[in-house]
Amino acid sequence: MSDLFASLSSVSRALAAQQTGLAVAGENIANVNTPGYTRRTVELSASLPLDAYSTGNGVDVVGIRAERADLIEAQLHQELPAQAREAATADSLSQIEALLGRPGTSVDSNLTKFFDAFSQLAQDPTSGVARQQVTVQAQSLTTAFNDVATRLVSAQQDADAQVRDGVDRVNTLAAQIASLNASMSSAGAGRSDTLRDKLGVALNTLAGLIDISVVGRPDGGADVSVGNGHALVIGADTYQLATSAVAGSGLADLTSGGSVITSAVTGGRIGGLLQVRDRLLPGYQTRLDQLAHTVATSVNTAHRAGYDLAGAAGIDFFVPPAAVAGAAIAMTVSAAIVADANRIAAAATPAAGDNGNARAIANLRETPLAGVTTNPVDTWGALIYRVGTDAQAATSERLGRDEIVKQLQTLRDQVAGVSLDEEAASMMKFQRAYEANARYFSAVDASLNVLMQMLGG
């Protein structure tokens, strides 16, 4: 049995429900550009009639729902670290490529000029100018080796500084996530959705820095661990990452709760930088050192076999490298040779005019080096090839990863993003419904008026 007064209360609830719908559309439009915002929808449901003889009791707002794409978000947490790793690797490698120099303008050209100088000396073994030229070119060669080696070291230090910086940002984000978790447990449903949006942004940023695994909490929060299950955030608690200096190199090791997790970090920007710092750059340094070491030792061996202008036995041309490691950065021409170019052993016999040894050293340019089996310039070419393929691989891998992330983002937005057309339609829908309900209200009001007049009559 419906009555007019019950109708009045039901229609006022209906007006409020349409207003809520309008407000939700307004909220969605307001946040159309907010990062991490998930679109809200209002859930309406018809109220149960008061008794068996009523038609109904209007409408109720059951809730406001955030349209989350949780599965896609979880996939993003896995893909973002890989994308960021490749991006960081590709960026670092493109800088390293640049510092190695173009073919024909770097260490390779210095090697060619160095051997050219010996070939010039072979034409005129007693010429002071030719001898001076050998010294000058040898010094340019050692400077070129020193420079490239120094640049590789500073590239490594640069990557290290960025790793340390990344660790700071990870800790900041961890603290942010923990405080979101804390607020989440005490927040009501409406606030909790906004907090979850913020949490989503923080998790995605974190996934760009380091590979994480995320376990959702019942209240909507998230527990995060890094590097093979070392906790970073559990509820409102954070377990911050720290760095410790690696013995010898002084580079940063990542630690969590005192244990070193560097090798377990393989993703994110930090993972990419670690790969460059610990695997790629040391590989290039070793190749460069090998080249410098074998050039210095084979030239020394050949030089010692000859005789200088005064007929004395040859001395070491380069300061003999102590070890393969660090040979490039330490490469120097012997002080005695720099001081007196006549000490250069051009002759294979004690006769001043002989050029046998200068020819032998000039011919080293086409002689396979001990241990690397290619000639000096081709050994440099092999290093260039290696850096080039690494950079090329990182760049193409990055493109592939970018594509995956873009597609996941598009999929997520299809579920969670705000469509202005949709919101316009929904605005109109609720506005019209409000108008109609208001009309009904005035109809009920008019009916009551009729009743009142009769009574008052």
Partner 1 sequence: MRVVFNAQFRQAADEINRTAADLAAAQQLVSSGRRITMPSDDPAGASAAVTDHAALGALDAYTKTADTATSRLTVADTTLSDIVAKLSAAQTAATSARGSLLSQSQRDAAAANLQGITDALFSDVNAQFHGAYLFSGTRATTAPYTTGAGGVISSYQGDHATMSVDLGQGHPLQVAFDGNAITQGNASVDVFAVLTNLITAVRAGDNAGIGQGMADLDRAIDRATFVQTQIGTNLSALDDARMRLRASRLDVAAQLSRTEDADMASAITEMSQADTAYRAALGAFSRVGSVSLMDYLR
Closest approach of Cβ 216 to partner 1, in Å? 24
The correct pick among 89, 109, 156, 162 for binding partner 1 (CB under 8 A) is 109
Binding to partner 1, residues 126-155 (CB under 8 A): 126-127
Binding map of partner 1 across residues 414-453, x = CB under 8 A, - = no contact: xx-xxxxxx-xx-xx-------------------------
Site string for partner 1, 216-245 (x = CB under 8 A): ------------------------------
Min dist CB 143 to partner 1, Å, is: 18
How, if at all, do strands 237-238 and 212-216 pair? unpaired
Interface positions, 14-33, toward partner 1 (CB under 8 A):
32-33
Considering only 164, 230, 304, 365, the residue that binds partner 1 (CB under 8 A) is 365
Question: Which 389-418 positions form the footprint of partner 1 (CB under 8 A)?
Answer: 389-392, 395, 406, 409-410, 413-415, 417-418
**Quick check: 380 binds partner 1 (CB under 8 A)?**
yes
Least distance CB 177 / partner 1 (angstroms):
23
Please identify which residue in 274, 347, 361, 369 interacts with partner 1, judged by CB under 8 A.
347
Check residue 112 for interaction with partner 1 (CB under 8 A): yes
User: Which residue's CB is nearer to partner 1, number 284 or number 318?
Assistant: 284
Number of residues that bind partner 1 (CB under 8 A): 68
Phi-psi category of residue 222: left, alpha or beta, with phi > 0 → left and psi -120 to 50 → alpha? beta
Judged by CB under 8 A, the residue of 12, 349, 442, 447 near partner 1 is 349
Q: Which is nearer to partner 1, 129 or 245 (CB)?
A: 129
Least gap, CB of 184 to partner 1 (angstroms): 25
Q: Which CB atom, from 315 or from 427, has the smaller least distance to partner 1?
A: 427
Asked if residue 373 binds partner 1 (CB under 8 A), the reply is no
Stretch binding partner 1 (CB under 8 A), from 97-105, 194-202, 228-236, 250-258: 97-105
Residue 270 touching partner 1 (CB under 8 A)? no
Q: Are 121 and 131 in contact (CB under 8 A)?
A: yes
Residue among 316 and 378 whose Cβ is closer to partner 1: 378
Site for partner 1, rule CB under 8 A: 32-33, 93-94, 97-98, 100, 102-104, 108-109, 111-113, 115-116, 119-120, 122-127, 347, 349, 351-355, 359, 362-363, 365-366, 377-378, 380-382, 384-392, 395, 406, 409-410, 413-415, 417-422, 424-425, 427-428
